[in-house]
Amino acid sequence: MNHPDHPEKQSPMERLSAFIVDKRKAFYLIYIGAAIFCVFSSGWVDVNDDLTSYLPDTTETRRGLTIMEDEFTTFGTSRILVDHLSFAQAEALAEEARALPGVKEVAFENSTEHYDRGAALFSVTYDGGAEDPVSLEGLAGLTGLLEGRDVYVTGDTGNSASESLEAEMQVVMLIAVGIILLVLLFTSHTYMEIPVLLMTFGMAALMNKGTNFIFGEISFVSDSVAVVLQLALAIDYAIILCHRYTEEREHQEAREAVIAALSKAIPEISGSSMTTLSGLGAMCFMQFRIGYDLGLVLMKAIILSLLSVFTLMPGLLLSFSALIDRTHHRSFVPQISAWGRLAVKTRYIMPPLFVVLLIGGFLFSNRCPYAYGQTDLTTIRKNDAQIAQAKVNDAFGRVNTLAVLVPQGDYEREGRLLRELERMPETDSVLGLANVEAMDGYVLTDRLTPRQFAEMTDLDIEAARLLYSAYAVNQETYGQLVSGVDSYGVPLIDMFLFVYDQMEQGYVSLDSEMTETIEDLHQQLSDAQLQLKGEHYSRLVLQLNLPEESPETFAFLDTLHGVVNRYYPEDALLVGNSTSDADLSASFGNDNLLIGILTIVFVILVLVFTFQSSGLPVLLILVIQGSVWINFSFPYLQQEPLFFLSYLVVSSIQMGANIDYAIVIANRYVELKQTMPLKDAVVESLNEAFPTIITSGTILASAGILIGFLSSNPAIASIGVCLGRGTLISIFLVMGILPQILLLGDIIIEKTAFTLKARLPLQTRSGTLRVDGHVRGYISGVVDADFSGILHGTIHAAVAAGALQEESGKEGDQSHA
């Protein structure tokens, strides 16, 4: 303790720490208010289930989807399989289903496409969009009608991926918290520090979820994994402060110990967080904007975690200091000196083996079979929708729908294109206004003269001429009135809709049979127009007999582009899951290269600043990049497709977060080698780093594995599996390869240090010695101080200034380390 008359001047960091500790009650009030606010605001954020909305605006799929949203109506649909039915029972059910409110159409016929070996497939179209209340009412009615039967429902209506995913993540979170409690009990110094850690992190997680509304909308990926990843990535910061406090508490009062611990932990934790923030920041540069979305949410999570650790946790440590003091327990983390000695002995074996793994990992990971859609991905856990989808696909095959958008207005050209598309072997069906049959062999876009229209509808020819004249006036095509309406051809769909409007207004009166026909046609024509004819574009709908994603499918898209562009060279677009996958495939190469380069550059800059060396960061990057390559060799070796987003996200997180494990060992090694031989420094650095690495690594790996095993969403599960596996590989490499690399590469580290200060030689002497100078090393314990006097005992240390001499007339043994 400083003398009151000569108080030691506090550093700015110590003054800031003292302010935080002394104003802890004010901070408590702020955090209580923030917690109450975040409980309510967490419900304000919109969650986006649609990955295609994050495609770049310039991609064909995104442009096409925007046009379809603006110009067309897409009705909600379901494919419902009912098993163990006779055909007669299925027909009766179809009739009952058609009468339900909200149900527009139920397609069911006597063909293998709808009935096969006791299984009936009903293709249902609803009166509204997939999320409209009227469609959900129709689905609820169907569910009630089919209750008690063996039913499998698929489709876009009533299938909220975000809701089921949120429920799964709640289970993941509960189990993750349980695992974290066990890990902390194993690695903590006192039992009471665990509630402090959980309160700190719980506040950080709540604030992150409660502030997501500032983005307006976030993806289901960010919404589901952010809390678990925040917990796994950022709990280290709280653990570092806890350990600092425990060390300081051994020789200071509680308040002074918290201040000292915080002042020392702020720079250390801030430096540690920079590599994680760098990896996440690199994700924000992805063309596929899901990376920007997830990167922002997780960066905010890290920053709020830092804020909680720096401003909430110090007060909690002081408030609970008495309980923390009383609940100390022995450390359960074992010493791993034997592992360290094994690392030293294998220093000429493991690095060459690592080089082989590095080359193999690079080659295999570059052959990783990527998937850009989710239909070919499998998950360990399957939800009801996935089970139903698999059942329907197995019984009646998959449906691959593709829309072709062409400039609207030329029905004849549309008809020629539709006929050519129908002849292509890759198409099962083709639908457009120009091939929908209306009456008597005419299609909706055929141009009929007044006489043809009169013959088809049994209308008086004069009445037909009057209708055509009125239509010409309505369309302001007055030239037809001058030249005569008998040669005036009007598309059948336009004339039918005009006649219906005239009937509604009382200007036209038809016989009861024709009136009924027109009224029946009107709804079908209106629906067809809503779905297939927009203000500027017409939509052609193709059913392909190709898988959603395959080389053959992508090749067919190129062929299809060529066919469509012959008819519409100006501006035609293809839109569907297959085109989305093709666009994602095209952007993946650029994103992969960009993210890889930016992550490594950002992390190297942080490491160079941290270690004041250019060689050491390269060695650390090499180890973690190796773990990334090895991680993504597994899909190739297992011949299982990997969702492309998993690679982009996990490679960034693995490089940004797992490199902290390598930094911990490297920091210890660089410090310890100043006071002991290199081999001893390696052994001791592993001993000191092991508790931190085992704590952080176990939590992150557990979080990833839990997500992988418990999530039914292929994209989320894939991220979890890769993250868990990658973390385990990183732990193995930093504990089993990095120490040997540090030993063999020490000369590189020394030569590339910016501070060209040579390592002081260690002196080992025993006996009676005069010590006069600054000493760093072991004198029956560790000493780092200005020392002047006589020593009776043993010294093993570096003497930075002054001298170390044997006392005259005294014996001492001398050796050099």
Residue ranges in the chain modelled with pLDDT below 70:
1-9, 160-163, 478, 480-482, 755-817
Q: Which two tokens stand for residue 569?
A: 């060279």
Residue type, 421: L
pTM of the predicted protein model: 0.78
How, if at all, do strands 782-806 and 642-643 pair? unpaired
187 contacts: CB under 8 Å, gap ≥ 6: 239, 332, 333, 691, 694, 695
The C-alpha angle 314, 315, 317, rounded to 5 degrees, equals: 65
Give the per-residue pLDDT at 160: 63
**367-402 pLDDT, tens per residue?**
999 888 887 788 888 878 888 888 888 888 888 899
Q: Which two tokens stand for residue 578?
A: 């297959």
Give the per-residue pLDDT at 514: 74
For residue 263, the cross-strand partners are none
Q: Which residue in this structure is represented by tokens 């509204």?
A: 128
* 230: nearest Cα among 180, 183, 167, 159: 180
Q: Which two tokens stand for residue 502?
A: 């005239």
Distance between CA atoms of residues 419 and 426, nearest Å: 14
Distance between CA atoms of residues 465 and 458, nearest Å: 13
How, if at all, do strands 642-643 and 370-371 pair? parallel
CB 298 within 8 A of CB 230: yes
* 717: nearest Cα among 234, 386, 367, 382: 382
Q: Which two tokens stand for residue 765?
A: 């002497």
